[in-house]
Structure 1
Amino acid sequence: MRNIHSDSSIKNRKLLQQIVFVAAFFLFSFQAAIAQKQHISVKDSLDGAFDLSDYIIYAHGFIVVPTIITEPALGNIGGAVVPVFLKKRPPVVDENGKKRFINPDITGGIGMYTGNKSWMAGGFRSATLVKPKILYRVMAGYGDMNLSFYENNLPNGSDQEFKLNFKSTIFYTQWLKQFRNAKWSAGVQYLFLNSKIKLPDINLPPPFVKPGDIKSTVSQFGGAIQFDGRDNIFTPDKGIRLQSDFFWSDDAIGSDYDAWRVNLSAIGYYPLTKKLIGGLRVEGEQAFGSPPFYLRPGINLRGIPAARYQGKTSIVTEAELRWDLYRRWSLMGYGGLASAFNNWDQAFAKPVVYSYGTGFRYLLARKFKLRMGIDVARGNEDWAYYIVFGSNWLR
């Protein structure tokens, strides 16, 4: 965990104990009720180990997922309850005679509260229109969030932190049409974000905050193309996922900002041996025009707080190894390098951001290849820890 004052550590520890208790009560009380009603076993039929596959399949598509939030930018500790409805889809045979596997439809909500008094409520849906071969995502929410942003590279060589409060309403949707080869898809996306920002009580406001940012509306329309050849969507053992997408923001579509944003992402997994899985992630983001400061490209890397490093361009690389050590238990090792900058002629001129760490995974649901565990990471400045459901690279 990050180094903080002792009184804050005591408060966070007490909050963590409360969250763990409530999460355990929610999860196991619900599981017990369903299991008693339908006589669902939580032991796997192959190895007799603890396994939630049958519980997920036979709980009429409903599961409550209590989650511990460990993002440093949100106070290091918090909790969320995520009720999720699952609808399993059988594979279909396309007109070309090939079998097409369909991801489960997922509909859910989220309620979140963290150690720095941030909270959020919302809902989401990810599903497939099978006959027209359309993948779609929809999410909406409202949050009252306390986040830190930084003015980097001051004349004295240091960075200054500014704590801001955001009251925001968000809506996002994406619709992708699958090609004849269903691993390929392309389509459109849209983002709406309305925010009211409360500045810290200091004499000088943050230099990166413009008057128009205090109360603003972002409306962005864009497109995306994707290739997804992973063997499963939760914890892949092999395969790659490639995506390129863009957003366009303009007053013509109701936005207070004129800007473009382009994103590139490549994530791949490869079995080096029978029990050693290697993974590699390379992602880049480029902004053009005048986006709001809170949507500038940033660094998404374990061990680095969100929005700690920003610029008009960000590049992130990360590699990991998963060693399936014993039965369902796995050991993780990973490391990454990243940079955020404003001009390409100054690329990597700033100190390169790095992180490294280790963790473990447990095969929680064998039939879904779903693993869960904990990662501990060290960044440039501090330690952080993460509760990982599925994969840290879920996209």
Structure 2
Amino acid sequence: MRNKYSGSTTINTKLFRKLFLINVFFVLSITTITAQKQHISIRDSIDGAIDLSDYIIYAHGFIVVPTLITEPALGGIGGALVPIFLKKHDPVIDENGKKRFIDPDITGAMGMYTGNKSWVAGAFRAGSFIKSKIMYRVGAGYGNVNMSFYEKLPSGNDKEIDLNFQSFVFYTRVMKQFRNAKWSAGPQYFLLDSKINFPDLNDLPSFAKLKDIKSLVSQLGGAIQFDGRDNIFTPDKGMRLQADFFWSDNAIGSDYDAWRVNLSAIGYYPITKKLIGGLRLEGEQTFGSPPFYLRPGINLRGIPAARYQGKASIVTEGELRWDLYKRWSLMGYGGLASAFNDWDKAFAKPVVYSYGTGFRYLLARKFKLRMGVDVAKGPEDWAYYVVFGSNWLR
């Protein structure tokens, strides 16, 4: 289920161009019609460029975002319609006399369909109780997803196996900010109820078990975070550090007994006024017996989801954004990663790499929100991504 350019490069490229132009045209058309009714300009008062800031702020915080789905593991092409309500908050002065910036509330829904006939429908919200200094996230959805997983054969080669997932998912997290509001911590919960259709139930792949056919994953955990970025969409400077874990056990209704620990660091630094550097480091480790579809994998542009898995993974990625002309920026990035079972083989073959380029447009100046396209090359295929905000959006 990967996006392979060999043999179909011209078709995929033409289709991608058409869908991207339709995507941009639809965003601007819906925005223009609604903005005219509301008498809101979509031109920035400073530079006269197309800008959705006032539309997002004053048109009841509502925007429709049609988005291309370009994940290679989901067929390489597809679409999602995401209506989103954004509510901007003014900074507040805490009891210690310091200014505290509040992230905008985000409420939305999603409908998705891709080239390999996968579909997903769901809803989500991220918001804050400002006085209580509590941030929360909650989301739920149902999907019928076709995705490839890979079985390691005795010959050393990988066998691609197409699986169908019919799944309900629910996630929530509540974070309490400390006296220094950049620090926060709190509990989180994850539920995944799945039915998996295998090609042959009498000959399951080596990574699967009979109980995987119909299973319930219930995970309880916690997280601690430091977020010093200057904004949540497309940061120019600052760092975000997070450590979190999940515990899965029969005692909380799960069919699996396992632990999962995640560590991540994402930082941005202005090398010059127009050149922004970014660095991402992430690591994940599992213990016990998690289901195969929740084993640590490699999340890099250009690498299909679930292509490389193990009991642990390490991902490193760097990027540069050059603000080339007015609101337009040029991107360059590259990364290395490894998924493995034993730490003494952490960087044994295959060490996975990817690299690529792209562009961004400053779509909403008051939110520092940029949108654009990335094209990435991994060890096997090319892939393209429509990026709303940042590819490292967390």
Pairwise TM-score range, normalised by the shorter structure = over 0.9
Specify the alignment match of 1:238 in structure 2.
237
Q: Counterpart amino acid of 2:5?
A: N
SS in 1 for 2:309: coil
Specify the alignment match of 1:89 in structure 2.
89
Contact 2:249 2:257 in 1 (8 A): yes
Specify the alignment match of 1:3 in structure 2.
5
How much has 1:204 moved relative to structure 2?
2.7
How much has 1:16 moved relative to structure 2?
5.0
How much has 1:33 moved relative to structure 2?
2.3
Specify the alignment match of 1:109 in structure 2.
109
**1:320-364 Cα deviation digits (max 9, x unpaired):** 111111111111111100000001122212220000111111111
Specify the alignment match of 2:283 in structure 1.
284
How much has 1:28 moved relative to structure 2?
3.5
CA RMSD of aligned residues (A): 1.7
How much has 1:25 moved relative to structure 2?
6.1
How much has 1:23 moved relative to structure 2?
3.8
How much has 1:47 moved relative to structure 2?
1.1
Q: Is 2:110 aligned against 1:125?
A: no
SS in 1 for 2:247: strand
Alpha carbons of 1:290 and 1:202: their partners in 2 closer, same or farther (altered >3 Å)? Answer: closer
**1:290-316 Cα deviation digits (max 9, x unpaired):** 000000000000110000000000000
Runs of 4 or more, structure 1, over 3 Å off, are 12-26
Specify the alignment match of 1:160 in structure 2.
159
Contact 1:117 1:145 in 2 (8 A): yes
Specify the alignment match of 1:362 in structure 2.
361
Specify the alignment match of 2:100 in structure 1.
100
Contact 2:187 2:221 in 1 (8 A): yes
- Equivalents in 1 of 2:22, 2:380: separation in Å? 32
Q: Counterpart amino acid of 1:58?
A: Y
Q: Counterpart amino acid of 1:67?
A: T
**1:171-212 Cα deviation digits (max 9, x unpaired):** 000000000000000000000000000001487321111000
- Equivalents in 1 of 2:57, 2:334: separation in Å? 35
Alpha carbons of 1:54 and 1:335: their partners in 2 closer, same or farther (altered >3 Å)? Answer: same
Alpha carbons of 1:342 and 1:138: their partners in 2 closer, same or farther (altered >3 Å)? Answer: same
SS in 2 for 1:56: helix
How much has 1:59 moved relative to structure 2?
1.1
Specify the alignment match of 1:265 in structure 2.
264
Q: Which moved more, 1:25-34 or 1:184-193?
A: 25-34
Specify the alignment match of 2:306 in structure 1.
307
- Equivalents in 2 of 1:26, 1:357: separation in Å? 27
**1:96-149 Cα deviation digits (max 9, x unpaired):** 111111111111000000000000000000000111111100000000000000
Specify the alignment match of 2:134 in structure 1.
134
SS in 1 for 2:181: coil
Alpha carbons of 1:14 and 1:113: their partners in 2 closer, same or farther (altered >3 Å)? Answer: farther
Contact 1:15 1:115 in 2 (8 A): no
The count of aligned residue pairs is 392
- Equivalents in 1 of 2:196, 2:229: separation in Å? 40
Specify the alignment match of 1:330 in structure 2.
329
Specify the alignment match of 2:37 in structure 1.
37
- Equivalents in 2 of 1:393, 1:376: separation in Å? 15
Q: Counterpart amino acid of 1:73?
A: A
How much has 1:89 moved relative to structure 2?
1.3
Contact 1:329 1:361 in 2 (8 A): yes
TM-score, normalised relative to structure 1 = 0.95
SS in 1 for 2:379: coil
Q: Is 2:67 aligned against 1:67?
A: yes
SS in 2 for 1:212: helix
- Equivalents in 1 of 2:233, 2:279: separation in Å? 16
Q: Counterpart amino acid of 1:229?
A: G
Specify the alignment match of 1:50 in structure 2.
50
- Equivalents in 2 of 1:325, 1:28: separation in Å? 23
SS in 1 for 2:211: helix
Specify the alignment match of 1:188 in structure 2.
187
TM-score, normalised relative to structure 2 = 0.96
- Equivalents in 1 of 2:10, 2:154: separation in Å? 33
Q: Counterpart amino acid of 1:88?
A: K
Aligned positions of 1:191-206 closer than 5 A: 191-201=190-200, 204-206=203-205
Specify the alignment match of 2:209 in structure 1.
210
Q: Is 2:126 aligned against 1:148?
A: no
- Equivalents in 1 of 2:16, 2:323: separation in Å? 29
Contact 2:55 2:61 in 1 (8 A): no
Contact 2:32 2:42 in 1 (8 A): no
Q: Counterpart amino acid of 1:382?
A: D
Q: Counterpart amino acid of 1:197?
A: I
Specify the alignment match of 2:317 in structure 1.
318
Structure 1, unaligned stretches of length 5 or more?
Answer: none
- Equivalents in 1 of 2:316, 2:22: separation in Å? 36
Q: Counterpart amino acid of 1:335?
A: G
Q: Counterpart amino acid of 1:105?
A: D
Contact 1:84 1:109 in 2 (8 A): yes
Structure 2, unaligned stretches of length 5 or more?
Answer: none
SS in 1 for 2:96: coil
